[in-house]
Structure 1
C-alpha cells in the first residue's frame, strides 16, 4: 500500500487539496479530524487538557477551541505541553486507520497531517511520499485572517508556531503551489493524481 502524506503551512489550501483527492475516490486519513475526536467530551485526553489548562477552556462540557488557541499560540511552552498530551493519541489513531485501509486492500492512501515535519512523522517510516501544499506568505496571512476571523497579530503568531513553508518545501517529494484560483489548484491536484497513476 502506497501511503502519501499531505502537509503545508496553516491556511495553505491543504483542505481543498484533500477534498479533490477524496472526490477522485482515494481514502484520506485526516489528522485534523482525529485531533478533534481525541478532545471530544468524555475522552481521557480532554480530561488531561482540562487538568493542565483549567476549567476556563471548557464551555458547556465542550472544549472552547478559540479560548485554548488564544492561550497556546502566543505561548510556545503551553503549545508544547498541549502537543505532548494530544500528539501520541493522534499518532495512534493514524496508525489504526492505516492498518484498517491496509486490511481493506487499498493500494493508495493519503494522510493529511498539518504538523507532519513539526511532529517528525518523516521518521516513522510509514510514508512513501510527502506532498507539500505551498502558498506565498501574504496570501497565507490573508487567508488565515479571513478564515479564522483573526487580526494580523493573532494570525502571525499561529503561522510562526509552525515550521516555515520554505523549509517544508525543501523536504518535500512533491510541491503543489497554491497561488492562484481554487480551480487552478484543483487542476494541479488532478494533474498530480494522473502522474501518480502513470507511475
Structure 2
C-alpha cells in the first residue's frame, strides 16, 4: 500500500481535494482533526502539555485552545516544543490507522508537511495550490479572523514556489471542475504505480 501526503497552504482547498479523493474510495486521514481529538484524549499529550504550558493548558478537562494559542502564537520555540509533543502521537495514530485500511493507497492530509520536513515519510506528495488572494478570501469567508491574521499564518508556511519543487503532483484549486479532473488524473497515476 502506498502512503501519499496531501498538503497545501492555508485556504488552498486541501479539504475540498481530500473529499474528492474520498469520493473515489481512497481512505483519507485528516491530521488536523485527529490532532485536535488526540490533544483532548491522549494522556501522553495531556501530561506533556501540562509540563510545558502549565495546568491552564486544560480547562474543565478539555484543551484550553485560546490559552495555548496565546502562549505559542508569537513564540516559535514554544510552538516547536508543542509540535514535538503532538506530531509523534499523530504520526503513530496515522500508522495504526493505515494498517487498518484495505486500499491500494491512503492519503494523509497535513498542512505543514514540507515545513516539518516530513516528505520522506511518503511515497508521493500532492500539493494543492491557489492564488494568494483567493486563499485569503476563502479563509476570511470561512473563519472568524482578520486579513492580518490570515497573512501572519501564511507567513509561517513555506511559499508555494518552494513547495512546487518538492511535490510529486500539483493540483491548482480555483475551478472545481478542473480540480476534479486533475484529482482523477492524479488518482489514475498513483494507481498505476501501486
Q: Same fold (TM over 0.5)?
A: yes
Hey, what does 2:19 align to over in structure 1? 19
Instruction: Give 1:9 deviation, angstroms.
Output: 0.8
- Closer, same or farther: CA 141–72 of 1 in aligned 2, 3 Å: farther
- Closer, same or farther: CA 165–65 of 1 in aligned 2, 3 Å: farther
Q: Deviations over 1:63-109 (max 9, x none)?
A: 133443344233212211211111111111122222222xx4x2121
Q: Which deviates more from structure 2 when the two are superposed, residues 85-94 or residues 58-67? A: 58-67
Give yes or no for the alignment of 1:60 onto 2:54: no
Give yes or no for the alignment of 1:111 onto 2:108: yes
Give yes or no for the alignment of 1:148 onto 2:143: yes
Task: Measure, in 1, the Cα distance between the counterparts of 2:149 and 2:68.
Answer: 13
Aligned match for 1:185, one of 161, 165, 179: 179
1:45-124 mapped onto 2 (5 Å cutoff) = 45-101=45-101, 104=102, 106-124=103-121
Q: 1:5 touches 1:111 (CA, 8 Å); kept in 2?
A: yes
- Closer, same or farther: CA 194–122 of 1 in aligned 2, 3 Å: closer
In the superposition, the TM-score normalised over structure 1's length comes to 0.85
Q: 1:38 touches 1:46 (CA, 8 Å); kept in 2?
A: no
In the superposition, the TM-score normalised over structure 2's length comes to 0.87
- Closer, same or farther: CA 122–196 of 1 in aligned 2, 3 Å: closer
Instruction: Give 1:197 deviation, angstroms.
Output: 4.4
Q: Which deviates more from structure 2 when the two are superposed, residues 142-151 or residues 15-24? A: 142-151
